[in-house]
Amino acid sequence: MTLHIDIPEETLSGILAKAFRNTAFVTGFVITVLILVMAVISYLWTPYDVTKLIIADKTQGPSLAHWFGTDHFGRDILSMIMVGARNSIAVALVAVGIGMGVGVPLGAFAAARGGLVDEALMRVNDLVFAFPALLSAIMITAIFGPGAVNAIIAIGIFNIPVFARVARAGALAIWPREFILAARAAGKSSTQISIEHVLPNIATLLLVQGTIQFALGILAEAGLSYLGLGAQPPMPSWGRMLFDAQTRMVVAPWMAIFPGMAIVITVLGLNLLGDGIADILDPKSRRQR
């Protein structure tokens, strides 16, 4: 299987014009921005203090005072979702950063070198892929203890081979291009070529994969927190809120519904954004109207 990369030959304004005609992109973009804005606002203001427990107010249903109700410690769920967004975004984003930061150079290097280096790196990749990701994440948190930082590491490690693979496949599709040959004829080293020509041309591919991994990271963080292995109190996290909610589903279903929806909407937004970007930048996938 060979990857085919179409390099769009368009101006930025052309791409933007197209972007804002793409429903998936616009929807995804709006949702993602809203979530980000919510997370930023939470630094400055939340309806209630999420570190303050008011046991007397526990498990109140949605009302004007508490739009999404309160949790088992009387904390405002809306405020917790706002602050929790911070955690989810931070964990997923840093994990993507780790994956990209390590994976992309590895993949690009493997593609540039080829031969034994490539083979060895890909076998290591296979090795990591052979471990069920969640299981390994559980083991990692079992060793280092639960917490947001270890969740980031656990998720980030499994982003590495993903990005390495994507970067390698993308780079392998770029390397046979004539402009690479031209650069080689101009005496550029493979590292220089990787940086100057290969990476910019697979950037969109990585961007799309990045949004996918970002979304998966949010799901993974929620899963780990749900098992009690993610962010620890008093830092609210969406997965942890679901963990707390599951024993109170009958009396306080809002405790499960709203954080769950926050996850769904965020992941949906990111996936739509990724789809939109892929759609806009891949001329072959132009929708027929």
- Residues 233, 71, 155: CA angle, nearest 5 degrees: 40
Candidate list 10, 18, 47, 60; residue touching other proteins; CB under 8 A:
10
- Within residues 248-287, the interface with other proteins by CB under 8 A covers 248-251, 253, 256, 260, 263-268, 271-272, 275, 284-285, 287
- The residue from 21, 63, 131, 149 that contacts other proteins (CB under 8 A) is 131
C-beta separation of 196 from 187 below 8 A: no
Residue 19 interacting with other proteins (CB under 8 A)? no
The footprint of other proteins on this chain (CB under 8 A) covers a number of residues equal to 84
Among 13, 115, 116, 178, indicate the residue that binds other proteins (CB under 8 A): 178
According to CB under 8 A, which residues from 186 to 245 bind other proteins? Answer: 186-189, 196-197, 200-201, 215, 219, 222-223, 226-228, 232-234, 239, 242
Contacts with other proteins in 54-93 (CB under 8 A)? 55-56, 58-59, 61, 72-73
Query: Interface with other proteins includes 17 (CB under 8 A)?
Result: no
Determine if 118 is a binding residue for other proteins (CB under 8 A): no
* Segment 135 to 174, residues that bind other proteins, using CB under 8 A: 135, 138-139, 142-143, 145-147
Binding other proteins by CB under 8 A: which of 9, 44, 64, 115?
9
123 binds other proteins (CB under 8 A): yes
- 206, 101 Cβ separation under 8 angstroms: no
Q: For other proteins, which residue of 11, 64, 115, 116 counts as binding (CB under 8 A)?
A: 11
Site for other proteins in 24-53 (CB under 8 A): 51-53
Instruction: Round to whole Å and give the CA distance between 253 and 270.
Output: 26
